[in-house]
């Protein structure tokens, strides 16, 4: 399985920020797909796969022993979110950095009202865990991706839930 580097994966996914769903290559021929897992997978592997569910990524991370909620994700890691607090895997986004407020900055597909690729900034309260479902070809280098600025915030209209559902930054 060919895998892009972490930086290539993030850059590829970010290249689709704000573009209509009809331009997303992981949706060609399956436009109605809830595509966050498919978008993550395509961004890393560079091709459509049968992986379209978030729980499939979690199963891969558990199998390769990278699933965790301790420490800090590495750029490119899959961050799994539980929006409604039921313990289920509701969303995946690709980890980018931690901002100065201590919040996770990630990019994902199928986000917000427009269901586009966009930036997501959250506290750890809505995060189930993270890990590396695929073996990236590059080692982690310090400072490979600069931290987001203090002004990095997800616009309210792009949040899957309203701001009162997000825990305050610590």
Q: Is residue 168 part of a domain?
A: no
Q: Which CATH number belongs to the domain containing residue 62 in this structure? A: 3.90.1720
pTM of the complete model: 0.79
**pLDDT over 80 (residue 159):** no
Domains contained in the chain, number: 1
Q: Is residue 169 part of a domain?
A: no
Q: Is residue 165 part of a domain?
A: no
Q: Is residue 158 part of a domain?
A: no
Q: Is residue 10 part of a domain?
A: yes
- pLDDT tens-place string over residues 67-125: 999 988 999 999 999 988 888 888 999 999 988 888 899 999 887 777 788 898 987 77
The tokens describing 62, both together, are: 């558990």
Strand order in the sheet with 91-98: 116-122, 104-111, 91-98, 78-81, 127-131
Distance CA 79, CA 54 (A): 10
- pLDDT tens-place string over residues 18-65: 898 888 898 888 777 777 888 999 999 999 888 888 999 999 999 999
Helix (H) or strand (E) holding 120: strand 116-122
Domain encompassing residue 75: 6-135+144-150
The tokens describing 158, both together, are: 């792009």
Q: What is the predicted pLDDT for the residue at 126?
A: 87
Q: Is residue 162 part of a domain?
A: no
**pLDDT over 70 (residue 149):** no
Distance CA 26, CA 48 (A): 6
106: three-class secondary structure by DSSP: strand
Q: Is residue 166 part of a domain?
A: no
Q: Is residue 155 part of a domain?
A: no
Give the number of residues written for the chain.
170
């Amino acid at each position: 399985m060919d895998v892009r580097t972490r930086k290539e994966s993030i850059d590829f996914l970010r290249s689709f920020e704000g573009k209509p769903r009809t331009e997303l290559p992981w949706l060609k021929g399956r436009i109605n797909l809830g595509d966050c897992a498919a978008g993550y997978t395509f961004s890393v592997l560079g091709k459509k796969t049968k992986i379209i569910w978030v729980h499939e990524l979690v199963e891969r991370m558990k199998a390769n022993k990278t699933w965790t909620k301790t420490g800090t994700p590495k750029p490119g890691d899959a961050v799994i979110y539980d929006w409604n607090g039921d313990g289920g895997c509701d969303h995946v986004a690709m980890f980018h950095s931690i901002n100065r407020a201590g919040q996770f900055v990630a990019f994902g597909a199928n986000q917000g009202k427009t269901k586009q690729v966009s930036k997501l900034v959250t506290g750890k309260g809505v995060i189930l865990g993270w890990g590396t479902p695929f073996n990236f070809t590059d080692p982690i280098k310090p400072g490979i991706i600069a931290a987001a600025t203090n002004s990095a915030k997800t616009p309210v209209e792009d949040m899957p839930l309203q701001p009162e559902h997000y825990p305050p930054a610590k």
